[in-house]
Amino acid sequence: MIPRYSRPDMVAIWSPETKFRIWYEIEAHACDAQAALGVIPKANAEAVWKARDVEFDVARIDEIEAVTKHDVIAFLTHLAEIIGNDEARFVHQGMTSSDVLDTCFNVQLVRAADILIEDVKGLLAALKRRALEHKDTNRIGRSHGIHAEPTTMGLTFARFYAEMDRNLNRLKKARMEIATGAISGAVGTFANIDPAVEEHVCAKLGLEIEPISTQVIPRDRHAAFFAALGVVASSIENIATEIRHMQRTEVLEAEEFFSKGQKGSSAMPHKRNPVLTENLTGLARLVRMTVVPAMENVALWHERDISHSSVERNIGPDATITLDFALARLTTVIDKLVIYPDNMIANMNKFRGLVMSQRVLLALTQAGVSREDAYRLVQRNAMKVWEEGKDFKTELLGDADVCAALSAEEIEEKFDIGYHTKHVDTIFSRVFKD
Amino acid sequence: MIPRYSRPDMVAIWSPETKFRIWYEIEAHACDAQAALGVIPKANAEAVWKARDVEFDVARIDEIEAVTKHDVIAFLTHLAEIIGNDEARFVHQGMTSSDVLDTCFNVQLVRAADILIEDVKGLLAALKRRALEHKDTNRIGRSHGIHAEPTTMGLTFARFYAEMDRNLNRLKKARMEIATGAISGAVGTFANIDPAVEEHVCAKLGLEIEPISTQVIPRDRHAAFFAALGVVASSIENIATEIRHMQRTEVLEAEEFFSKGQKGSSAMPHKRNPVLTENLTGLARLVRMTVVPAMENVALWHERDISHSSVERNIGPDATITLDFALARLTTVIDKLVIYPDNMIANMNKFRGLVMSQRVLLALTQAGVSREDAYRLVQRNAMKVWEEGKDFKTELLGDADVCAALSAEEIEEKFDIGYHTKHVDTIFSRVFKD
Amino acid sequence: MIPRYSRPDMVAIWSPETKFRIWYEIEAHACDAQAALGVIPKANAEAVWKARDVEFDVARIDEIEAVTKHDVIAFLTHLAEIIGNDEARFVHQGMTSSDVLDTCFNVQLVRAADILIEDVKGLLAALKRRALEHKDTNRIGRSHGIHAEPTTMGLTFARFYAEMDRNLNRLKKARMEIATGAISGAVGTFANIDPAVEEHVCAKLGLEIEPISTQVIPRDRHAAFFAALGVVASSIENIATEIRHMQRTEVLEAEEFFSKGQKGSSAMPHKRNPVLTENLTGLARLVRMTVVPAMENVALWHERDISHSSVERNIGPDATITLDFALARLTTVIDKLVIYPDNMIANMNKFRGLVMSQRVLLALTQAGVSREDAYRLVQRNAMKVWEEGKDFKTELLGDADVCAALSAEEIEEKFDIGYHTKHVDTIFSRVFKD
Amino acid sequence: MIPRYSRPDMVAIWSPETKFRIWYEIEAHACDAQAALGVIPKANAEAVWKARDVEFDVARIDEIEAVTKHDVIAFLTHLAEIIGNDEARFVHQGMTSSDVLDTCFNVQLVRAADILIEDVKGLLAALKRRALEHKDTNRIGRSHGIHAEPTTMGLTFARFYAEMDRNLNRLKKARMEIATGAISGAVGTFANIDPAVEEHVCAKLGLEIEPISTQVIPRDRHAAFFAALGVVASSIENIATEIRHMQRTEVLEAEEFFSKGQKGSSAMPHKRNPVLTENLTGLARLVRMTVVPAMENVALWHERDISHSSVERNIGPDATITLDFALARLTTVIDKLVIYPDNMIANMNKFRGLVMSQRVLLALTQAGVSREDAYRLVQRNAMKVWEEGKDFKTELLGDADVCAALSAEEIEEKFDIGYHTKHVDTIFSRVFKD
């Protein structure tokens, strides 16, 4: 994570302040549960809440950790400084550090997921608005980068909407994957702490209990979480790639918004580069690269080893911050994307009707010409357009074999663009269900 | 995929015979729908079903493809050879090759997912049986590879069960991700074919319609599918790693089944190597490596490019065949795993009571000793066990400071293993809900 | 690996026949060395060479392996069937299976590397030929997909040449990485076999001795090998991407060769899709995906575990066969690539001189205008070209502020394309050194 | 990158201060070259060096960038503030931002490589010292985690030395991969700047000229660089895994250094967890994950797109800082690793001689027993050791069939550990050449 590609709300989730606040809540709720069970005095549990509105002193905790070389002990020591050594003596009783660390990490991931889910919702709104706006904006569809048949810009936005809607669903499931907490002790047997404590803390934090843990929460959950982020990132790359193609000089069907005052290249003032979507392409790679290490983290030794920890200290913040930034940036790009319908028409007409060849082929077949013959007829006229710059319709109208099968009206009709867009409403009704 | 690591049912899904059979069904159902719409004659649609029980001649199709350099055309030509050129003339009308290829690929993935789902169910049954069998088999829990606190072998199996149960859920969701079909034409606009055809074909094949496609079915679906396989593979590695650790000479708490006649190493006859779980570790890497290219496949150019195709021709079969084989192999390993409870006890006692130090620490704290002092008391006795081979309980009973806080009975009680397993039933009831 | 993307010479390296032939050579050379040391009788060593011209019966070896469940023993048993049990009794003496397997794997990788090195040389020849052919073919250079300044097609080919030349170097180094053999016994101590045997066998097979092995040859070597293949594959993707861009309808500066008889899409006969380079893009992903598992293979447990084996059985053949095929396919694409110089000129002129704005900016600065002012002057004229379709040079000649700084001749000179290509020879002389 | 896993020298390379300092040097040297060519006045070139000892004001540059949205322009503006607008007017003339950015990035990578190279040298020294120290410390070698044959701890260190020595070589080559600079203008044609400028700047910065660039330096170089780091990281994981195994409770052949004052777990004071090597395992994953995005960065569009930039802003610092930290940490671990030779002997004797079975097998064969019979003889005695706890040598001496082939002295001799270590000096002389 670097500041350039981050937004404050997501960054805040990963701050030491937030982390210690979550640790505190876990410990305080655990004390309540322990007191309710009669394991520790109620007064001590209550005393912990004295720190409810205190801001923890990160520098002080770091200072203690430099001596103890143990982050949770450092925090607990600092907490005791605030609420009193005597009052603090039952804090963390029966718990192991991972009870706090793992539950906290999942709280952070849940919050991160909540932001990402809102991000995608914002993106969906932008995509839907642009889809409806350009529902009937004609545009050539391309396969292999080559003109195929007409489509509309609205369909392009609509398919990105559908893809991101699936991603919304994936993020919701991913959130559920890691929305668990565990307070189960050194090897997950609850030897020193009653399962009721876990239940209470999880309920308070909005988590499910982890049915079976082993000091740590099982890492297949996190692997699934980061894999979901990797899919979302790949979809961002997909949309970004489309826009980069649309903006390239020879196509110029769209441009990223370019503020009047903004300088492009230092040397080529006329250039309007799709730098935001190029950047999104790179950010997608950054998010995606976290998937494999998250999967490598699953196979911990026996009840746990700590190899996953350094990985997660990095990819936890990095993947979520980068994806949040990327989703927000993409939303802005979509929102402000400048569309050039005239250029779309000009591009579509570049090969003088050739894009309609599929229809002509079909019409010939339906008129009784064999598939092979129809193919040959279309091909020979198409080649004249391609190689000699002729107009496809004119050539067809002048081809005796074609005219033997199709009337002039029938040929004319094959070049009606409305033919290609007649099901746009149907598709929209499938995609935008409400 | 190599034969050594494959099973016939999964391999069959990816055979040319199966592929052509699915292609045939798509084409035949599409003809029915076209006939119902009045687009093609009913007689022609019916004629296609003449090939219902014919086995397609793969060699012949290959022969035609060598000339036409187009696989779908080759197949259609062969189909016409079977049902007659005249009868076949409306087959594939209005469709594009990808309508057939993509829908077929998803049918194959769905079938593969069905096998994988059954595989996991089989594995779950084995894990549950072994979990119940060893629910109370005492064993030391280990963090960082170091003895921590007692647990039971049943809990180990139970946590693998819980993890694989999550994977079952992930596979079901992954199956839904790719259980769609599309018959929407060259750029997905249904220009030449009514959406009703897609609906009919999908219903017949047990697929959902793809709400919006673009010649191809969007590849975020496949990325999510392969990502799920990657998570399952990582869980396999997790279980395999545990068994490899258990079988290592110094631990020897379990062994893969070893038939009497089987030769181990050519040179060291006494060696019983955990080669199956080592192999599973490698197979997990093979499945996992398909996740990133599946994600790289998402960003196709415009309405489609064909870069994904060569990737999927490989990872489609490879990932599913390898995972199927791995799940089956793991099921056998679990089913027949030889457990050595006596060695588990011997290992647990290796450090003469040290594993109970956590309880003693807690007891001292509860008896009013400050956390720091308690820590120091436990540590100084523990070090004697560690460095001088003393017995922990004996040392504690001889430590005046400890005895000032805890009675002999209290100290004795801390070494009761039942203390650690008292919540096993609770955990089992969380994991095995029915 | 699938037949569609493979070539016979590379496939042959990975056949069982080749593998057994290499095993045989290792065993036979080892016998010679053992005989020279006086460890085994000379007659027995000589007897092994009776099988020199025998083709091993793969089916028979498989049959024996089905019983013994050990591939090397199966092979040795078959060898004994050929040369006689008595003659064969000293074969493999003092050796462990991995001595044979690992040394054989490296021989295969070396041979694969030799083919890949020749492949790259062939590609280099094609690139050089096309570079010289199009050294002076003017073309617009593009950054961000947007027109920047003129360059030449020859420079494009030349930079791919330079990149592939670096890859040639990388492949040579990668070959050295794995050109070692080891015959060092069960844990690499040469307990049962003299180091002289290893030396003799390696010398005969053209390998270096592995300075220190541990039953297996260390896998950092193989990780480095596959990483090099991944880089080469990424360069293939780089070239493929350029061609795909050049062929897209709106650019059309080049096309993959398209034979007259070849059918493109089944429905759109006019389409000439860059399917070969799209395919190469996918193949690059397949090669690249083998890098991470090869790296995960490095950390074997203690002196060895066998987790790497299943990975290598797959990625060994797959990565080399796919890369060989891809390099050969790319060579053909480059060799036959149809270049359209006229379209290059037409594209360059699309924005009526705007691509020269960098030169004008510089000229203004050199004429004493401040950077900021020069930037503003260029920008205001550029915008008229962009938004109103004006001609850049005309606008500049009509801009009083510009003309105050630059004479008409000076302005005219800024639009001379020769200015941009004056160093092409210098660059060529750097790239093509001989 | 997070502070916890970083060291100051490597961090400093990636600071804004360092970056601007390098930019400055590039610009200043370029001015010198331009002046030498007569393109700009000598006085202006000299004036630039006025800032030689000035510390650039990062906050001020950020402030300017917030307005101009262009980092190089912001820097140049700030430079002008220091040396005077008039003096600065020829700075950057004819150059494009990437000339500065890419050359700077490579300077940073070269410096990072230099640190990594020194790191590896430090690690090699530690490994060599420990190898010599434990050259003759007997230890059981293990394959598949199972006892195989004796080896020595020195051989373990020696093989890590050999592996890291290869990595040293790889890092040196990786350094050469990215030790190039380019000052070639907007599309690499040197249209606005003489190649002599590039030559001068590169010579001053200790770089080779990039033979052919395209605004950017080709990214196959960087892919190869990061791939090399990935291999080094995998070797770190390899060593870390060995130590983790050695420290596990049941093995206990080594321990990471544990300072008296250091607290381990908060709850289990006796535990000495191999947290450093577990941490290294995780750090290796972090470095390795950068390889694929670096490879994905190779295929830039046409002469350049900027998708690589966000990736490199992250992985440039992250991979080098993490690897530097990991190498340093590993060096400390190796340096201070506590070795337990007694435990090594105890472990080796765990199965009462079984590890010598390979020798016995060989001796029987050499004494004329058929391979199959020898195997059976060894196996039946081995099973008694395994299953009934007998002593292997005793059993052999009591087996009539064995004694028919081997004398008692011969059997005794097979259990001499010196037999296994007789070639240690040879291996050491291969590994440590000076």
pLDDT at D4: 83
Interchain CB distance below 8 Å, D245 and B292: no
Query: Residue C293 and residue B297: Cβ atoms within 8 Å?
Result: no
Dihedral angle over CA of A8, A13, A17, A22, nearest 10: 160
Contact at 8 Å (CB) between A255 and A338? yes
Q: How far is B39 from chain A (nearest CA, A)?
A: 9
Cα end-to-end span (Å), chain B:
37
Q: Which are the contacts of A201, defined by CB distance < 8 A and separation ≥ 6? A: A26, A29, A30, A33, A103, A181, A183
Please state, rounded to an integer, the average pLDDT across all residues of chain C. 94
Q: Which has the minimum average pLDDT: A366-380, C41-55, C397-411, D50-64? A: A366-380
Banded model confidence at residue D157, pLDDT cuts 50, 70, 90: very high
Per the CB < 8 Å rule, is D266 touching A97?
yes
pLDDT at C121 over 80: yes
DSSP characters for C33-47? HHHHTTSS-HHHHHH
Cβ of C148 within 8 Å of Cβ of A268? The answer is yes
- Residue written as token pair 């203004």: C364
Question: In the complex, which subunits touch A with 3 or more CB pairs below 8 angstroms?
Answer: B, C, D
User: Residues C26, C205: contact at Cβ < 8 Å?
Assistant: yes
- Domain definitions of chain A by residue range: 1-93, 96-345, 354-414
- Give A230-265 as a DSSP string: HHHHHHHHHHHHHHHHHHSTTT-SEE----TT----
User: Which of A15, A265, A370, A407 is flagged as catalytic?
Assistant: A265
* Strands of B127-264, DSSP E: 138-143, 146-152, 180-181, 208-209, 254-255
How far is B251 from B146, CA to CA, in rounded Å? 12
Q: What is the mean pLDDT of residues D61-86?
A: 93
**Cβ pair A269:C385 closer than 8 A:** no
**Element containing residue C161 per DSSP (H, E):** helix C153-178
Q: Give D96-188+211-260+267-349+422-434's CATH code, choosing from 1.10.3980.10, 3.30.200.20, 1.20.1740.10, 1.20.200.10.
A: 1.20.200.10
Lookup: tokens for A81: 């400084």
Q: Is the pLDDT of residue C2 over 80?
A: no
pLDDT at C269 > cutoff 60: no
Among D72, D267, D308, the residue with its CB nearest the CB of A282 is D308
Residue B268 has pLDDT above 60, yes or no: no
Task: List CB contacts (< 8 A) between B355 and chain D.
Answer: 268
The helix (run of H) or strand (run of E) holding residue A430 is helix A424-431
* Chunked mean pLDDT (size 10), chain A, 434 residues: 88 97 98 97 96 94 91 95 93 93 98 98 98 97 94 98 98 98 95 96 98 97 98 98 97 86 50 93 98 98 96 97 98 97 94 85 89 88 85 94 94 93 97 86
From A258, which residue of chain D is nearest by alpha-carbon distance?
A: D69
Q: Which residues of chain A does B166 touch, with a Cβ-Cβ cutoff of 8 Å? A: 177, 220-221, 224
ipTM passes above 0.90: yes
Residue B133 clears pLDDT 60, i.e. is over it: yes
Q: How far is B2 from chain A (nearest CA, A)?
A: 24
Radius of gyration of chain B (CA): 30
List C-alpha distances in Å: A275 to A228, A255, D101, D307: 26, 10, 16, 8
* Separation in Å, CA of C3 to nearest CA in chain D: 26
Tell me which of 3.50.50.60, 1.20.200.10, 2.40.240.20, 3.60.21.10 is the CATH number of domain C96-259+267-345.
1.20.200.10
pLDDT of D218: 98
Contact criterion met (CB < 8 Å) for A282 and D310: yes
Q: How is domain D354-414 classified at the CATH fold level?
A: Ribonucleotide Reductase Protein R1; domain 1 (1.10.40)
Q: CB distance C218–D94 less than 8 Å?
A: no
Segment D286-334, tens digit of pLDDT: 999 999 999 999 999 999 999 999 999 999 999 999 999 999 999 999 9
The answer to whether the CB atoms of C249 and A351 lie below 8 A apart is yes
What does the block give as tokens for D133? 């120290």
The closest CB to that of A238, out of B145, B155, B299, belongs to B299
CB atoms within 10 A of CB D122: 17
Tokens of A198: 């876990």
Q: Which residues of C touch D230 (CB under 8 A)?
A: 223, 227, 291, 295
Judged by CB atoms closer than 8 Å, whether chains meet at D148 and C187 is answered as yes
Give, in order, the Cα–Cα distances in Å from A229 to each of A117, A262, C118, D281.
11, 32, 41, 23
> Residue B199 and residue B143: Cα distance in Å, rounded?
54
Who has greater pLDDT, B363 or C258?
A: B363
Cβ atoms of C420 and D189 within 8 Å: the answer is yes
Closest approach of chain D CAs to the CA of A418, in angstroms? 35
Query: Among partner residues B145, B269, B383, which is closest to D249 by beta-carbon distance?
Result: B145
The answer, yes or no, to whether residue C237 has pLDDT greater than 90, is: yes
Structure tokens at B291: 């996740």
Residues of B in contact with D371 (CB under 8 A): none
Cα of D292 to nearest chain B Cα, Å: 9
Q: Report domain B349-431's class.
A: mainly alpha
Contact A306 D275 (CB under 8 A): yes
Contact C299 D241 (CB under 8 A): yes
Q: Identify the residue among C139, C140, C142, C144 best suited for mutation to test binding to A, counting A beta carbons within 10 A and taking the highest.
A: C144
Chain D residues inside the 8 Å CB shell of C238: 219-220, 298-300
Contact list in D for residue C173 (CB cut-off 8 A) is: 173
Q: What is the separation of C-alpha C384 from the centre of its chain, rounded to a whole number of angstroms?
A: 46
| Residue from A372, B67, B78 nearest C261 by CA | B67
Average pLDDT value for chain D: 94
Strand partners, A140: A150
In C178-250, DSSP assigns E strands to 180-181, 208-209
Question: DSSP string of B253-293?
Answer: SEE----TT----SS-TT----HHHHHHHHHHHHHHTTHHH
pLDDT band at C266 (very low <50, low <70, confident <90, very high): very low
Mutate to test the interface with C, among A142, A146, A387 (most CBs of C within 10 A): A146
Catalytic residues of B: 144, 265
C338-339 and C254-255 beta bridge pairing? antiparallel
- What pTM, to 2 d.p., does this model score? 0.96
pLDDT band at residue D385 under the 50/70/90 scheme: confident
Pick the CATH number of A1-93 from 1.10.275.10, 1.10.357.10, 3.40.50.720, 1.10.287.3510: 1.10.275.10
C-alpha dihedral sign at B331, B332, B333, B336: positive
- CA C378 to CA A328: how far, in whole Å? 33
**What per-residue confidence (pLDDT) applies to A384?**
86
Chain A residues near residue D241 by CB distance under 8 angstroms: none
Question: For the residues C37-54, what does the mean pLDDT come to?
Answer: 95
C1-93 and C354-414 agree in CATH topology: no
Number of Cβ pairs < 8 A linking chain A and chain B? 291
Architecture of domain D10-93: Orthogonal Bundle (1.10)
Lowest-pLDDT range, A49-63, A134-148, C256-270, D396-410?
Answer: C256-270
Residue of D143, D144, D259, D266 marked active site: D144
Bridge-based pairing state of the strands D338-339 and D254-255: antiparallel
Mean pLDDT of the C350-360 span: 86
Which residues, 6+ apart, have CB-to-CB distance to C251 below 8 Å?
Answer: A250, C245, C343, C347
Q: Which chains share 3+ C-beta pairs under 8 angstroms with B?
A: A, C, D
Contact A97 D265 (CB under 8 A): yes
| Cα(D270)–Cα(B358) distance, integer angstroms | 9
Q: Give me the pLDDT at residue B262, please.
A: 53
Closest chain C CA to residue A289: C292
Tokens of B364: 């001292």
- B86 contact partners, CB below 8 Å, separation of at least 6: none
CATH of domain B3-135+152-339: 1.20.200.10
Residue percentage of chain B with pLDDT more than 90 = 84
Cα distances (angstroms) measured from residue A160 to each of A60, A166, A327, D29, D66: 48, 10, 13, 49, 32
Q: What is the CATH number of domain A96-345?
A: 1.20.200.10
Separation of alpha carbons D430 and B429, rounded Å? 60
* DSSP string across C287-351: HHTTHHHHHHTS--STTB-SHHHHHHHHHHHHHHHHHHHHHHHHHHHHHHPEE-HHHHHHHHGGG
Residue D259's pLDDT is 64
pLDDT of D208 > 60? The answer is yes
List, for residues C4-17, the tens digit of each pLDDT value: 899 999 999 999 99
